[in-house]
Structure 1
Amino acid sequence: MQALSSVFRHARRASLGAAAALAVALAGCATSPHGPSTSNATPELSTQTSHAYHGRFAVRYLDQNGKSRNAYGNFDWQQQGDTVTLQLLNPLGQTLAIVTSSPASASLELPNRQPVTADNVTDLMQHTLGFALPVEGLRYWLASSPAPSSRAKTVVDPDQSSRLKEIDQEGWTIQYLAYADAPATGVKRLDLTRENPPLDIKLVLDR
């Protein structure tokens, strides 16, 4: 796949049809995890806090016919305690989908349609869009921490031991490619890949 900076330059010229396809299906090509790891890392992040992330995404996926396609756009992530609201937008800023997840329920809204609800966000996205975005894991992974829900393997950044380079958890490999420069803090770029079903997501956070 091209470097992410090149991907986003092409994204500005991408058609709305390619971006809107994200609201129908996301499945894609993944890379294999590698490198040394340690297990049972203890996450430091508590969900009883507020977090907001804004940025850009690039997704490589397979359509219903098995053809490889790409989708690009922007995202807005709002987290209040255990509730997450994720808005996906195309490159022109038009809403593709709004997903809300809480421990008790989840809802998904597409443009000009009534919201659809389910007991959890994984089932909702799988049945509505044909894929399951890792919202529950992302609430921790965006903060460079393993989720507390399952066993995880982590790789520490060799250049700075206080930072993580990689997390392998729940079938996902999360690679941290860049952190914000001081005085800003937090993750700047990360890749998420999964083999089964395959999916490749690239995120750039603009704080």
Structure 2
Amino acid sequence: MRLSRCAGALRRVRAFRLTRAGITATAVIALAGCTSFRSQEPTAADAASTIATQTNNARHGRFAVQYVDQNGQQRNAYGNFDWQETDATVTLQLRSPLGQTLAIVTSSPASATLELPNRQPLTASNVAELMENALGFALPVEGLRYWLQPAPAPTSRARTEMDPHQQGHIRQISQDGWTIDYLAYADAPTTRVKRINLSRQDPPLAIKLVLDQ
């Protein structure tokens, strides 16, 4: 009688262990499935790493800028530009329509340098401040590193509007006081940005970029 009771108890223990093991295995599989489909927002470190892997990214095109100078007068500047990314460093060269160099801007995580014809290079930690003081207007170089991809910069909040007529294409980004309008993309398979307008209200500044490459 005692042996029969012990055998029954042993069977119940084994059954409990098997059931418990089954529940545990099911839970592990479920958690694994949830983990594999979990999405995470991109971080600044992720975006910086992505850009750093693009060791050689060159773009060429034309620019037109409308701005208000220190005296409140509306000014216009236009010409050609060369954009070169090497690791985390951006070099932007602005040239007149006749090919004369107007300015060369070099921006890196450590510092920013502005070179003007027949003048000593200017160095600061903020490339926008350098351009504003020397040229009267500033191109948002740090933001353009992302907006030309096109994508919002991961360092601040942004509102992104997709184009309902072109699947996967961004139509507008609003970020850091700038409104970035995407007017045209290259044909597949490159799908790179071809025309982009940037504007801000304070201080007033409007920039038109046409990318040839």
TM-score clears 0.5: yes
SS at 2:51 equivalent: coil
Higher relative contact order (CA 8 A, sep 6+): 1
Deviations 1:97-135 (A, max 9, x none): 000000101100000111111123133223433443210
Give the counterpart of 1:158 among 161, 164, 173.
164
Cα distance change of structure 1 residues 65 and 126 upon mapping to structure 2, 3 Å threshold: closer
Equivalent-residue separation in structure 1 for 2:74 and 2:185 (angstroms)? 30
List alignment gaps of at least 5 residues for structure 1. Answer: 1-40
Q: Does 1:47 align with 2:51?
A: yes
SS at 1:161 equivalent: coil
Give the counterpart of 2:179 among 165, 173, 177.
173
TM-score of the aligned structures, taking structure 2 as reference length: 0.73
User: How many percent identity over aligned positions?
Assistant: 66
| Match of residue 134 from structure 2 | 128
SS at 1:47 equivalent: helix
| Match of residue 80 from structure 1 | 86
| Match of residue 8 from structure 2 | none
Q: Does 1:141 align with 2:147?
A: yes
- Structure of greater Rg: 2
The structure with the greater share of residues assigned to helix is: 2
Equivalent-residue separation in structure 2 for 1:189 and 1:206 (angstroms)? 9
Report the Cα offset of residue 62 of structure 1.
1.9
Q: Does 1:190 align with 2:202?
A: no
- Give the length in aligned residue pairs: 167
Q: Which amino acid aligns with 1:150?
A: S
Deviations 1:115-174 (A, max 9, x none): 111123133223433443210000000111000110000000101231100000000000
Q: Which amino acid aligns with 2:160?
A: T
| Match of residue 114 from structure 1 | 120
Equivalent-residue separation in structure 2 for 1:125 and 1:72 (angstroms)? 15
Equivalent-residue separation in structure 1 for 2:175 and 2:57 (angstroms)? 22
